Structure formats: structure tokens, C-alpha cells
Amino acid sequence: MVSTDTVTEPSADPTAPARPGYGALLRTPGAWRFLLPGFSARQPFAMLTISIVLLVQHTTGSYGAAGAAAAVTGVSMALCAPLGGRLADRYGQRAVLMPGVLLHVLSGLALTALALAHAPVWSLFVAAVPTGASVPQVGPMVRARWGVKLQDSPLTATAAAFESVTDELTFVLGPLLATALCTGVNPAAGLVTEAALTLGGGLLFAAQKDTQPPVAPAGHTRVRAASALRVPGVRVLAMAFLGIGSVFGGMQVSLAAFTESIGEPGLNGVLYGTFAAGNMLSGMVCGALAWKASPQRRLVVGYTALALTASALWTAHSVLLLAALGLLVGLCVAPALITAYTLVDGLVAPGARTEAFTWLTGAVALGQAAAVTVAGQLEDRFWDGAGFLVPMAGTLLALATLLTLRSRLAGPPRSRTVARGVGHRATVTVD
């Protein structure tokens, strides 16, 4: 056994690169065929909440109603995302995406029409349920396609970082685009554009049949479907992602209320874009580095920084200070996200990772849904900026959970034996 480990442990070579770069990843044959349409189809998650908040607040005059409508959407997505992942594993991504995209577009347009017609708020909630439930889970599907393309290549870690950076980029462009459309064109333009991007990108992504993961036998699928959430570390990470969702949701509502209170609603997109830009930039750097510290330690340190910076948001009373604090919060979000996604690789068996990713995505949506609801109520009932207390509370609670249960983030010692065709996985030193 000792001699086998010596032969298959390439990290012993001091001249070997610590991690293959993004350039090598993007030269993977056929990758761009699913990356470009996948990027378009990811926009709903970044545009949907802020578009609903801005439209419903415009038609009802209440941030509480707007936050509640967006929350119904987020809860529906959080509950249905893992189900979508299991169905994709069992029947194939195309079989799930085609009807899902059509349902999302139709229900989103129905929600838009009801809001513009000043329909009762309860009817907006009814339309929000299928709108959120049918949000295409393209991010986890793209990650699964990378797994098929790369298998045990060292590029798998690079792909995980690249996907996290791509997620952050959508959070830069999506809210900026949605805010510009809703405030500069028409309050409904954000949701209409989101529906168009979903339709075009989703159908094009589904059309790439040869890059989707093979459909697994039904019996194996049932085992995978139950296994991901049974892993204690996945539940801990889901709690951390709930806190990150509280940052997204709380800032979306609170920034909109703040800029409205100073008579500059167009600044909402600029301020949220500053936050998201910091998120993306730190994600690019974090994903390109070869870290020596363990991912468990990096997650704790990074999440502590996130909680501290998020706790200062409510003290900002000027645009410049709020922009600076938002940038700092954004710089802290991406490292936590990337590290958590990296931890999934060691916590969950390969056949359950797609579902694990959807649980984490759903946790962000659920945290965002709760945050927009509470932040909207705080903005309506208390002072301008009271909604910023939500990111503080959400991250502090998640940090306390993470510190208490951090021992559960240690995966089984399955990667130390590297002689059974998985030697590349043990050589990636990013963790």
C-alpha cells in the first residue's frame, strides 16, 4: 500500500502546478456549448427576487407586500429545487428543463399581469408559487455536466471555482439589469426580460443532449435522492447558505428602500452592483489560488468576516458609506460560497452531488425569501435602513451554528487511498 501511494501521489513533485488554470478548463472540448446557454438560463435566480420586489412595491406601495410575494417565490423554489435535481437524475435534465422552463415563463408573465392589474395580493401569492417552483436549476445541472466531462481530472476543482465565479457574475449583472429595466423602462420590464432569458437560455441548454449526465437506474437514483441530506455536513452547509441568503434578500429590499427614501431609486442598482462586484472579484481570486489552509478552517474564518461586515450595514447613513460596506460584504460572500461547494466534494458520494448542490441552492433561496419578508416588514414599520438588521441576524445565527457543528464538516477519509483510479482527486491542493 505504501508503494502504491508513492506512485500515485503527484503532489510530491514540487514542480507540478498546484491547480490547473481557468484557461485549461475553458479549452475542454464542447464546454462552451452548455456554458453560454447555461449562463443565460441562470439569470432567473439573480433577477427574479428584485424584479418582483420592485414591481409589487410599485403597484401596491408596500415593501411588506413586495417582500412577501418574493418570499413565496423563494420558498417554492427552495422546496422544489431538490425534487428537480432528483427528477433530472432519474429522467434526464432535458426531460425536466423543457416543461419547467415553459411553466416558469407562463407563471412569471401571469404574476406580472396580475400585479399590473392591481389584483389582490393573495392572487400574487398564488402566481408566485409556480413561478418559484419552476425556476430552472441550471447551476447544479452545469456542475453535473462538468462532472461528466472531467470525471477524475484535476480540473474538477477548477470547475467548481469557475462555477462559483459564474454564479457571482450573474449576481452582478442580474440585479443591475433588473433594476435598470424596472426603474428606467417599466416596472414590469424586469420580470418580462427574466422570462425571455429563461425561455431562450433554458431551451438552448436543454438542447445540448450529448453533454448531459446519463440517466441512472431507478434503484440507484432512489439511494442518491435520500443520501445527500442525510450527510450531517450538508445540513451544516445548508444552514450557512441560509445566512448567505439572508444577506442577498435583506440587501435587496433595504437598498431599494434606502434609495427610495433619498429620492434616488436608480442608485439601487449601483449599490447592489457594488456589493455583487465585490462578490465576483473575490470569487475570481479565491478560485484561482491554491490554498494551504483546510476548507473547514477557511469557511469558519471567511464566514466570521462575513458576519462582522454584514453586522455593520445598518449603521450606514450615506450612499458612499453604504457602498463601501456593501463592497466589503460582497468580498466576504464569494469565499464562503466557493469553500462550501468545495467541501461538498469530500462530504458527499459522487452520485449524490447534484442533489447536494440543489439543497444548497435551495437554502440560499429560502434564506433570501425569509429575509425579504422580514426586511420588508421592518422597512414598513420602523426606520429607513431597519431591514439591514436582517443580514446581521442571519449571518450571526449561521456563524453560531457553524462554530458549534464545524466538526461535522470533516468528510470520511476516503481520499487517502489513491490507488483505485482516483489519484487525481487527491492531488488537488486547493483544499
Domains of the chain are 20-427 (1.20.1250.20)
Instruction: Give residue 37's region: left, alpha or beta (phi > 0; psi -120 to 50).
Output: alpha
Judge contact between 429 and 319, C-beta under 8 A: no
Q: Do 348 and 231 meet the contact criterion of CB atoms below 8 Å apart?
A: yes
Tens digits of residue pLDDT in 116-147: 999 998 999 999 999 988 888 888 888 778 87
Reported confidence tier of residue 412, pLDDT bands at 50, 70, 90: low
Q: Give the DSSP per-residue string, 194-258.
A: HHHHHHHHHHHHHH-GGGSPPPPPHHHHHHHHHHTTTSHHHHHHHHHHHHHHHHHHHHHHHHHHH
Residues 6+ apart with CB under 8 A from 204: 36, 37, 40, 41
pLDDT of 207 reads: 83
Measured CA to CA in angstroms, residue 20 lies from 159, 178, 283, 289, 426 at distances of 10, 35, 16, 10, 14
Q: What per-residue confidence (pLDDT) applies to 221?
A: 44
pLDDT the model gives residue 20? 60
What DSSP state is assigned to residue 409? G
Per-residue confidence band for 193, with pLDDT thresholds at 50, 70 and 90? very high
Cα distance between residue 72 and residue 50, in whole Å: 13
Residue 113 reports pLDDT greater than 90: yes
353-411 pLDDT per residue, tens:
667 777 887 788 788 878 888 888 887 787 777 888 899 999 999 999 988 887 777 76
Q: What angle do CA 356, 358, 362 make, to 5 degrees?
A: 120
Which residue's C-alpha cell is 477519509? 413
Q: Which pLDDT band holds residue 17 (cuts at 50, 70, 90)?
A: very low
CA distance 267 to 372: 19
Mean pLDDT of 241-246: 90
Tens of pLDDT, residues 307-334: 999 998 888 778 888 888 888 998 888 8
Q: What are the Cα distances from residue 227, in Å, to 17, 146, 221? A: 34, 21, 10
Cβ contact 114:191 at 8 Å: no
3-state helix, strand, coil in the chain (%, to 5): 80, 0, 20
Conformation bin of residue 418: beta by default, left when phi > 0, alpha when psi is -120 to 50: alpha
Gap between the Cα atoms of 398 and 336, Å rounded: 12
Determine the average pLDDT of the residues in 91-99. 84
* Residue carrying C-alpha cell 481557468: 22
pLDDT of residue 217: 57
Mean residue pLDDT of the chain comes to 77
Give dist(CA 111, CA 89) in Å, integer.
30
Q: pLDDT band at 192, cuts 50/70/90?
A: very high
- Please say if the pLDDT value at position 100 is more than 70: yes
Give the per-residue pLDDT at 384: 73
- List Cβ neighbours of 134 (8 Å cut-off, separation of 6 or more): 80, 100, 101, 103, 104, 107
3-state SS assignment for residue 188? coil
Q: Is 80 exceeded by the pLDDT of residue 1?
A: no
Question: Distances from the Cα of 348 to the Cαs of 6, 74, 293, 327, in angstroms?
Answer: 26, 25, 21, 33
How far is residue 138's CA from residue 358's CA, in Å, rounded to a whole number?
A: 10
Residue 13: its pLDDT value, please? 41
Per-range mean pLDDT, top range of 16-30, 58-72, 147-161, 216-230? 58-72
Higher pLDDT, 228 or 77: 77
The pLDDT of residue 287: 65
Q: Which residue has the higher pLDDT, 298 or 168?
A: 298
Q: For residue 413, give the DSSP letter.
A: S
Sorting pLDDT into bands at 50, 70 and 90, what band is 5? Answer: very low
Q: What is the mean pLDDT of residues 62-77?
A: 83
What mean pLDDT do residues 20-41 have?
80
Whether 3 has a pLDDT exceeding 70, the answer reads no
Is 163 in a helix, a strand, or coil? helix
Q: Give the pLDDT score at 216.
A: 58
Torsion, Cα of 305, 311, 316, 320 (10° steps): 20
What's the maximum distance between 2 C-alpha atoms anywhere in the chain? 73
Asked if the model's pLDDT at residue 422 lies above 70, the reply is no
Residues of the chain above pLDDT 90, percent: 12
**Tens of pLDDT along 138-186?**
888 887 788 777 776 777 667 777 877 787 777 767 877 888 888 888 9
